Structure 1
């Protein structure tokens, strides 16, 4: 799928992520390339770096990986629901509560990378299975009719957002 969603296909908060997705290119390919880039970035880190926080109260790199993994699970579920025609409103989630409850720092960096890889592979399999006509189907999130293609852009854009933060604040 190459066509990006219109502004009517997602809510204002999601614009933060949708706008980060390049306007050209196949989104399935972007997601696959993004996954490879993140795995290369993560696999180049030491256990010490995995525990690093750039400031008090900020997430560690392992917590960021845990957040990305949780987010992929949640966003993929939304994508599945929209694809299958679910019309019940889907809930949001409070990322800080999820990270705190996840206790991700108890895992090794390699364990967190494995969790991320497995969940992302599942997301990729779901996206690869979508028929072309599914991309314009809509579901209800946050009181807005949100399309499958906009949800896919949120998945890609959210990860781009965190990739930038990792590069600028953790690894620079």
Structure 2
């Protein structure tokens, strides 16, 4: 599969991140909402979780691989981490994801992974990869807007 779109998304986004001020990265509209910095951190957590799905599901189907996104963002303490560290983490995690997904043999893309917390529901690797890109696109649009 050709995931050049993901590689391009990462490279293009790095330039956009440079136009966001430190205040914009740190601003929180409320205690319950994530800052742009925390949203990018969430995308790092998503990358970590999904990389595990992309690798494990190739050799072990129906593995339950989930995470509690709010707990992860809080535990990772992204709000108090320098934005440059988060940007680099996001960039290199996603470039590695491109490397992983481009090397998944076609016959393994229909392997399934359980991504649910409660009621078991499995999805194919192909679906999870496409959903990962869509999820990232959604959050990058939020980061690139002036308001969260």
TM-score of the two chains, using structure 2 as the length reference: 0.86
Q: Is 1:30 aligned to residue 5 of structure 2?
A: yes
Q: Is 1:45 aligned to residue 20 of structure 2?
A: yes
Residues 168 and 150 of structure 1: CA distance in aligned 2, closer, same or farther (over 3 Å) = same
What residue is the counterpart of 2:144 in the other structure? 167
Q: Is 1:148 aligned to residue 125 of structure 2?
A: yes
- In 2, the alpha carbon distance for the partners of 1:113 and 1:43 equals 10
Shift of 1:147: 0.8
- Structure 1 outlier segments of 4+, above 6 Å: none
Checking the alignment, whether the CA contact within 8 Å between 2:65 and 2:114 is kept in structure 1 is no
Unaligned runs of 5+ in 2: none
**Relative CO higher for 1 or 2, CA cutoff 8 Å, sep ≥ 6?**
1
Q: Is 1:123 aligned to residue 97 of structure 2?
A: yes
The partner residue of 1:92 within 56, 66, 77 is 66
Unaligned runs of 5+ in 1: 2-25
Checking the alignment, whether the CA contact within 8 Å between 2:25 and 2:36 is kept in structure 1 is yes
Q: Secondary structure at the match of 1:64?
A: helix
Q: Is 1:157 aligned to residue 134 of structure 2?
A: yes
Q: Secondary structure at the match of 2:30?
A: coil
TM-score of the two chains, using structure 1 as the length reference: 0.75
RMSD: 1.9
